[in-house]
Amino acid sequence: MLQGTPILVLKEGTEREKGKGATSNNIAAARAIADTVRTTLGPRGMDKMLVDGMGDITITNDGVTILKEVDVEHPAAKMLVEVAKTQDQQCGDGTTTAVVLAGELLKRSEYLLEQNVHPTVITRGFQLALQQGKHLLEAEIGTPVKPGDDAILIDCATTAMGSKGVFGSRSELAKITVQAVQKIAEVRGGKTVCDVDQIKVEKHHGGTISDTELIQGIILDKERGHPRMPGEVSNARIALLNSALEIKKTEIESKINIKNPAQMQSFLDEEDRTFHKMVDSIKAAGANVVVCQKGIDDVVLHYLAKEGVYAVKQVKESDLQKLARATGGKIVTGIKELSSSDLGTAAKVDERKVGDDKMTFVTGCANPRSVSILIRGGTEHVTQEVERSLHDALKVVASVIEDGVVCPGGGASEIDLAVKLRKWAGTVGGREQLAVEAFAQSLEAVPWALAENGGYDSINTLIELRSAHDGPKANKNSGINLQDGKAADMWALHVIEPLRVKTQAISSATEVASMILRIDDIIASRKSSPPSGKGGDHEH
């Protein structure tokens, strides 16, 4: 009865793209994102200048920073931005590699789609290649290291910072990074855990990058509360308070009726006595430094100054928690509960001038479980780039200490994996074999981009690397030496990366490429209207 009559399921005018058109559009968008960051890969990578609507500029070649700042519209392109964010959270480094790999997997898939290989077959082949790739990385390419092997940890930190703008000072920064991570590493349930959030990074422009230093304690971006307080306290006993040292307003509406001057005086005297009690409690506990998360009344500050107590107010909660870990103190809620056993200790608490600002330094902690790094640099843009570099290096060192496995950098791991997967592809059989071969070819995008960004001939470099990894004299550590564009042993050049960076990069890239390949229809979905009234959703 309805033969030949079109049935309108979607509203007229609904934006829709389906079939091969949708797939190729998604692939093109994702590749555009990959091409944006491709030129930033490696030590010779170029920087990007990002200008926001307010005219503020960011200069960086950190893949995740670029993609976070770029205003991306296309949904498939947004998925690649998520890959970079995931890589950054898990490993700190390898964000550009993950995005470049995802773009290359999609580029190779497009060729297979033209040969009428079904997207499901391609994704299945990619999954097989990913599982085998992870196995090869762990079993054959990775090298176990001990957590106390400082030389390798420094090499890993140096490699992570190699592509950033701190190239000249990276050896000093690498040493600071390793020392900082080793301080906060702890064993939980038989496993070593490094929570890099326990490292407080404070940046202040002025000086040079080489003035960056590790503080065995905590830096507070605050000055002392009163000018008459001592500027320096030795053998500090620190009270950590998260309640205010002032008389709060009551929760309920209240009025105080004062009828004569004597009552006024007694009210003021009582207020003064309350403040005196607060200071007496601090002195009774034996504290000579007070760090308070909330406010401190001016009268209390005056009395503390008279007693020679150094006080800091309005400190961030996260800084208070770091101080507790660094000094061994306990955070106390009420001043009445404060006792000498709650106090933290430090060799020195002093106020120092850094640039134009005054900061409080809590140093000489006996066994700090939390430390600080003070970043210096000529301009604000320099200190921001140093901070990004240190973030990458701290995460990298932490992952090496946690996992205890590293692999060669400079494209060596990728090219070795590509050679091994090509040989293995023959055992897969079926059309999936084509996808495994495409996966292997995609891995070569990393050494290709490194050579290209270094100003060398990518084809010649790739041919040389392939022969270095295949045959009787095969060396799994052969990568590209960016000094001359030739194949060289990456261990000899100290170019080493954590295994986690590699496995996470290929995993994320494969997942996102598979997801994009499986999309064959893009429909503009109706924006859901907010619920109104009692009867649930109503259309407006």
Residue 534 lies in a domain: no
Measure Cα distances from 243 to 247, 251, 280, 313, 342 in Å. Answer: 11, 16, 16, 10, 15
Q: Are 520 and 18 in contact (CB under 8 A)?
A: yes
12-36 residue pLDDT tens: 444 556 667 777 888 888 888 888 8
187-197 residue pLDDT tens: 887 788 888 88
Residue 44: CA count within 13 A, CB half-sphere = 17
Question: Tell me, what's the pLDDT at 430?
Answer: 84
Lowest mean pLDDT, pick from 296-305, 383-392, 406-415, 523-532: 523-532
Q: Are 425 and 437 in contact (CB under 8 A)?
A: yes
Highest mean predicted confidence (pLDDT) among 39-53, 104-118, 526-540: 104-118
**What are the backbone angles phi and psi of residue 239, rounded to the nearest 5°?**
-95, 125
If one counts every other C-beta atom within 10 angstroms of the C-beta of residue 299, the result is: 18
Residue 537 lies in a domain: no
Mean pLDDT of 135-140: 89
309 and 373 within one domain:
no
SS3 call for 372:
strand
5 pLDDT above the threshold of 80: no
Lowest mean pLDDT, pick from 102-116, 307-321, 515-529: 515-529
Two tokens at 266?
Answer: 């007694």
31-49 residue pLDDT tens: 888 888 888 887 888 888 8
SS3 call for 145:
coil
486 and 377 within one domain:
no
Residue 7 lies in a domain: no
408, with CB counted inside 10 A (0-12, 13-18, 19+), is buried
Residue 124: CA count within 13 A, CB half-sphere = 11
Residue 230 lies in a domain: yes
Residue 66 lies in a domain: yes
Structure confidence at residue 182 as a pLDDT band (50, 70, 90): confident
Active site residue 96: yes
Question: Tell me, what's the pLDDT at 539?
Answer: 46
First to last CA, the chain: 34
Residue 5 lies in a domain: no
478-499 residue pLDDT tens: 888 888 888 888 888 888 888 9
Mean pLDDT of 343-354: 88
Choosing from 23, 95, 159, 177, the catalytic residue is 95
Q: How open is the CA angle 525-526-527, to the nearest 5 degrees?
A: 115
CATH of the domain at 191: 3.30.260.10
More confident residue, 402 or 257: 402
Q: Are 218 and 319 in contact (CB under 8 A)?
A: yes
296 and 225 within one domain:
yes
Of residues 119, 38, 67, 8, the one with CA closest to residue 438: 119
The residue out of 403, 430, 451 marking a domain boundary is 403
Cα dihedral sign, 111-112-113-116: positive
187 and 74 within one domain:
no
Please give the sequence-ordered ranges of beta strands (E in DSSP) within 100-231, or none if there are none.
143-144, 185-188, 191-194, 199-205, 213-215, 218-220
54-66 residue pLDDT tens: 878 888 777 788 8
Q: What is the DSSP string of 334-370?
A: SGGG--GGG-EEEEEEEEEEETTEEEEEEE--SS-SS
Number of domains in the chain: 3
540 pLDDT above the threshold of 60: no
Query: CA 29, CA 35: separation in Å to the nearest integer?
Result: 10
483 and 412 within one domain:
yes
The distance from CA 121 to its chain's CA centroid, rounded to whole angstroms, is: 35
Expressed as residue numbers, the domain containing 451 is 16-144+408-523
Question: Tell me, what's the pLDDT at 225?
Answer: 87
535 pLDDT above the threshold of 80: no
Residue 465 lies in a domain: yes
250 pLDDT above the threshold of 60: no
Question: Tell me, what's the pLDDT at 510?
Answer: 93
Residue 536 lies in a domain: no
Mean pLDDT of 523-530: 59
374 and 361 within one domain:
no
Residue 261: CB partners within 8 Å, gap ≥ 6?
none
352 and 237 within one domain:
yes
344 and 310 within one domain:
yes
If one counts every other C-beta atom within 10 angstroms of the C-beta of residue 314, the result is: 12
Two tokens at 274?
Answer: 């309350």
DSSP state of 215: E
Question: Tell me, what's the pLDDT at 440?
Answer: 92
Active site residue 392: yes
Two tokens at 124?
Answer: 């299945």
Choosing from 342, 392, 403, 416, the catalytic residue is 392
Share of the chain above pLDDT 90, in %: 10
118-130 residue pLDDT tens: 889 999 999 999 9
464 and 485 within one domain:
yes
Active site residue 95: yes
CATH of the domain at 333: 3.50.7.10
Structure confidence at residue 1 as a pLDDT band (50, 70, 90): very low
133 and 54 within one domain:
yes
Residue 155: CA count within 13 A, CB half-sphere = 19
Choosing from 23, 58, 65, 96, the catalytic residue is 96
The residue out of 403, 424, 455 marking a domain boundary is 403
Q: Is the pTM of this model over 0.85?
A: no
The residue out of 313, 343, 365 marking a domain boundary is 365
Question: Tell me, what's the pLDDT at 439?
Answer: 93
307 pLDDT above the threshold of 70: yes
126 and 36 within one domain:
yes
Question: Tell me, what's the pLDDT at 267?
Answer: 62
More confident residue, 473 or 450: 450
Structure confidence at residue 226 as a pLDDT band (50, 70, 90): confident
SS3 call for 286:
coil
291 and 233 within one domain:
yes
Query: CA 44, CA 67: separation in Å to the nearest integer?
Result: 19
Query: CA 39, CA 46: separation in Å to the nearest integer?
Result: 6
Two tokens at 360?
Answer: 């409080």
Choosing from 62, 88, 319, 403, the catalytic residue is 62
498, with CB counted inside 10 A (0-12, 13-18, 19+), is buried
Structure confidence at residue 538 as a pLDDT band (50, 70, 90): very low
CATH of the domain at 464: 1.10.560.10
Query: CA 174, CA 487: separation in Å to the nearest integer?
Result: 25
Please give the sequence-ordered ranges of beta strands (E in DSSP) within 427-539, or none if there are none.
478-481, 486-489, 496-498, 521-523
